[in-house]
Structures are given as structure tokens and as C-alpha cells.
Amino acid sequence: MATVKFKEASPYIQLQSSPPAEDYLYNKYLEHIALKSASRDDPIVKLALFGAGRAGTIHLTTILSNVRVKLVYIVDDIDSNWESMRKYWRLEDVVFLNSKQSDKVFQDPNIDAVIVASPTFTHENIVIKALQARKAVFCEKPIAENRSDTAKCYEIAKKVGKPLFCAFNRRFDPSYSEVRDRVRKGEVGHVHMIKTVSRDSPLPSIEYLKISGGIFHDCLVHDIDIITWTLGEYPDKVSVLADANIPEIKAIGDFDTVAVTLHFPSGTLGMIDLSRNSTFGYDQRLEVFGPRGMVRADNEHPIPGVRWQYGLRGTTTAPIWYSFASRFMNGYRREFEHFIDVVHGKVESLVRSKETLAVSKVATACEEAARTGKSVDLNWIPGELPDQ
Ligand SMILES: NC(=O)c1ccc[n+]([C@@H]2O[C@H](COP(=O)([O-])OP(=O)(O)OC[C@H]3O[C@@H](n4cnc5c(N)ncnc54)[C@H](O)[C@@H]3O)[C@@H](O)[C@H]2O)c1
């Protein structure tokens, strides 16, 4: 009886609350119910996908579920997979080509954009050919194997007036971008410490690692990007310790465990804890700390239940997401939608050329610090860094 006084009027009489902006999936659903979205008047963007491996399959599922685009070509060198892919994905109209036949894509005037998800060492050549053929380009990170080749790609993009988008997918993850928004609103004050934990799962094959470009340009770039994008600042000094606990990784001259510390001109410190092999799932966290508090993006669980165990043995939670394809699924979809908006000239690319080039420079400095055992100072020339 004590709570009767809190009884409210019928929810049918009271004003119903609208869904919160945070429920981006429900808000999208409302657009579908209302059959109303500004993007539905845009022309369909015709695409070619280069590479149908781990990353390519993520983009393929996104493309096939997106009504704003039409997939016309898949370029991949494992031609023994073509028929199974056609059957599995019902790709009756899609033309399959191997990389030697890829000029067909560049010569096809109907193709508006190219999605590059082939191995890193192939990116530069595909990106340049696609841009020269006046196609917009979405390219998996990194755009090229080093900073100067990346800069060359951006110069061509500028010359031909077509977008070159570098797929730093973590920026589009709802919880990571929320952390950035809160930091930029000043919720923690001037940042004293920013940290990421990035532990890969499953352990990639040695065949992949041999052509990955190494842990600094293959993995660490994601952390450098999310940290510098959150802070709007670039480090002036890095110190790195790295080792390979897995003999096969040591044998190819790469590392599987890396600890990075970054110093920023404003006094902020950064820490990155990186591993190639997390056996309990894809461990991805971001934490920002300052005098007014802390904001954090924690690991997410596919099934967020908690289990209480018999015999007072405590509780267990469900496992975290196993790998990038599941953990960042929403981020990949939002990233792709953003790219299509960029192609239509509706928005500026959220990932800017100066940012990608700066990330590459920091990754190279980190590799140098790890290999020499000495801290590396970073000097930035005027105009090299993006405006904030
Ligand atoms: N953003 C992310 O979360 C993420 C995740 C994984 C990989 N990646 C990036 O995606 C790229 C591919 O990595 P992956 O793990 O998918 O590799 P993968 O080996 O699984 O797949 C690569 C595919 O490209 C095909 N291929 C090889 N040469 C080609 C060419 N010249 N043209 C077209 N296709 C070609 C191969 O046959 C293979 O099917 C890498 O640059 C990597 O850095 C990004």
C-alpha cells in the first residue's frame, strides 16, 4: 500500500516518450516503418569488391544488406571459391574476375566505387588504378605499406577529385565514438591518461602475418587512430617495448606483444596494450581519465547474462565477442553507410588524409622505438597535422 501514492495516470493518457538517440538501431527501424529516409532518393552506387577473404566477407555482407548499392564485380584470386560464393550469396548477376582481369573494372564506366579488402601489399596499386579511372575508393587500412606511398595515393585522389576513404572502422563503433564525444564535451576535463587494450582473436595464420605488414602497421594503427582522433592531438614522443612469445611469430621477425607509451604536447599520456593472441575473445577496451572523471568503452558480450553457480562458487558472465567481425559489426555497417554518403557528396569523409598520414608516421616511430629500444621523438612540420 505504501507505494500506491506513486501510481501514475494511464500511459495511454500521458505523453509517450520517444526512443533515445542512443538506440540507433531502433531509430533506423523507425525510418523503415515510416518508409522515409533522405538517402532513398540517391542514385544506386555500383560497386566492385577487391578481396573476398576475412575483411572482404564482412564488407560483402554489408553490401548485400544495403539497398543504396549494387555489387557488380568481385575480384579475388581464389577462383575455386567463385561458384560456391555465387551459390551461397545468390550472386547470379555478379561478375567474378581474378586480379589479372581487374582492368575490366577500371574500364567499366558504370562502376562508381571500389572496395579494397585484398592483402595490404596489393592496396596501393588497386587504389591508384581505381582513382585514375575516377572511381571513389574505400580502402581497408592501411592504404599503402608506408607513409610516402599513402601520401601518393591521397595526391592522386585530390587531383582526380574522388574520395579515398581509409577504413578505420573503430571510429564508427557506437561505444568508442560515444567515448570520444564525451571527452570532446569536456566530461573528464583535460585528459591526463588515455588507454587502449587491443588483443586480437583468433590468432591470425602465419601466412596472413607474413604479408600483414607487421603488427605496427596492421594492428597498432587502429589504436593510434582511435587515441589521436579522441584527443585531437598527436604525440611528440613514443617509447615501446615489444616481444614475440610465439616462436613462429619471432621467426618471421614480427612481435605478438607490444606495450606503447605516448607523450602528447599538452601533457596527456597514452598507453597501448597490444596482443596478437587473446584466447578468451576479442579484448577491446578504451579508457580516458582526467581530473573530472573517467569514460570507458568496455568489452561487449553477445549474451549479457550473469550465471550464479551452485555451491557458492560465485558468478560467471557469458564470453565476450570472439573476433572483429562480430564485435565491430555495427561499426562496419555505419562506416559503409558513411562512405556512401561521402560518395554522394553529402558529408565530408570523417577520416581525413592528414590523419591517416599522421597515424602511419606514429606507427613507424613506434616500430623504430621497439626495434632500437630507444624513445623516438616526433617532429611535426607546420600544416602536417589536421585542424581540430
Ligand atoms: N578493419 C578491420 O577490422 C580489418 C580486419 C581484417 C583485415 N583487415 C585488412 O583487410 C585486408 C585483407 O585482410 P584479410 O584478413 O581479409 O586477408 P585474407 O587473406 O583473409 O583475404 C584477402 C583476399 O584477397 C584476395 N586477393 C589476393 N590478391 C588480390 C588482388 N590483387 N586483388 C583482389 N583480391 C586479391 C585473396 O585471394 C583473399 O581472398 C588487409 O589489408 C587487412 O589489413 C582489416
Distance 101 CA to ligand 1 centre (A): 18
Please work out whether the CB of residue 224 comes within 6 Å of at least one atom of ligand 1: no
Please work out whether the CB of residue 324 comes within 6 Å of at least one atom of ligand 1: yes
Please work out whether the CB of residue 99 comes within 6 Å of at least one atom of ligand 1: yes
Residues 6+ apart with CB under 8 A from 18: none
Mean pLDDT across the chain, nearest whole number?
96
Distance 365 CA to ligand 1 centre (A): 25
The answer on pLDDT for 9 being more than 90 is no
Condensed to tens digits (0 to 9), the pLDDT of residues 161-195 reads 999 999 999 999 999 999 999 999 999 999 999 99
User: Cα–Cα distances in Å, from 361 out to 289, 353, 385?
Assistant: 25, 12, 11
Distance 54 CA to ligand 1 centre (A): 6
Q: Which among 118, 223, 334 is the best mutation to test ligand 1's pocket, defined by most ligand atoms within 8 Å of the CB?
A: 118
The answer on pLDDT for 135 being more than 90 is yes
Quick check: is 73 in a domain? yes
Residues 6+ apart with CB under 8 A from 116: 50, 51, 122, 123, 126, 127, 130, 137, 138, 139, 140
pLDDT at 305: 87
Indicate whether 60 and 202 sit together in one domain.
Answer: no
Rg of the chain in Å (alpha carbons): 23
Indicate whether 147 and 186 sit together in one domain.
Answer: no
Q: What is the domain extent for residue 159? A: 33-167
Indicate whether 40 and 56 sit together in one domain.
Answer: yes
The answer on pLDDT for 230 being more than 80 is yes
Quick check: is 19 in a domain? no
247-251, 267-271, 306-310, range with the lowest pLDDT: 306-310
Indicate whether 234 and 362 sit together in one domain.
Answer: yes
Quick check: is 8 in a domain? no
Contact (CB, 8 A) for 237 and 378: yes
Domain boundary pick from 109, 141, 167 = 167
From atom 15 of ligand 1, which residue's Cα is the shortest distance away?
54
Number of domains in the chain: 2
Indicate whether 56 and 122 sit together in one domain.
Answer: yes
pLDDT at 82: 97
Please work out whether the CB of residue 141 comes within 6 Å of at least one atom of ligand 1: yes
Report percent pLDDT > 90 for the chain.
91
Quick check: is 183 in a domain? yes
Indicate whether 154 and 179 sit together in one domain.
Answer: no
From atom 38 of ligand 1, which residue's Cα is the shortest distance away?
53
Indicate whether 156 and 191 sit together in one domain.
Answer: no
| Closest ligand 1 atom to 141 CA | 43
pLDDT at 318: 86
Indicate whether 52 and 37 sit together in one domain.
Answer: yes
Cell of 89: 550469396
pLDDT at 190: 98
Indicate whether 81 and 134 sit together in one domain.
Answer: yes
Condensed to tens digits (0 to 9), the pLDDT of residues 253-279 reads 999 999 999 999 999 999 999 999 999
Indicate whether 201 and 157 sit together in one domain.
Answer: no
pLDDT at 38: 82
Please work out whether the CB of residue 56 comes within 6 Å of at least one atom of ligand 1: yes
Indicate whether 97 and 198 sit together in one domain.
Answer: no
Domain boundary pick from 111, 134, 167 = 167
Please work out whether the CB of residue 208 comes within 6 Å of at least one atom of ligand 1: yes
Indicate whether 232 and 355 sit together in one domain.
Answer: yes
At 149, which CATH number? 3.40.50.720
At 369, which CATH number? 3.30.360.10
Quick check: is 11 in a domain? no
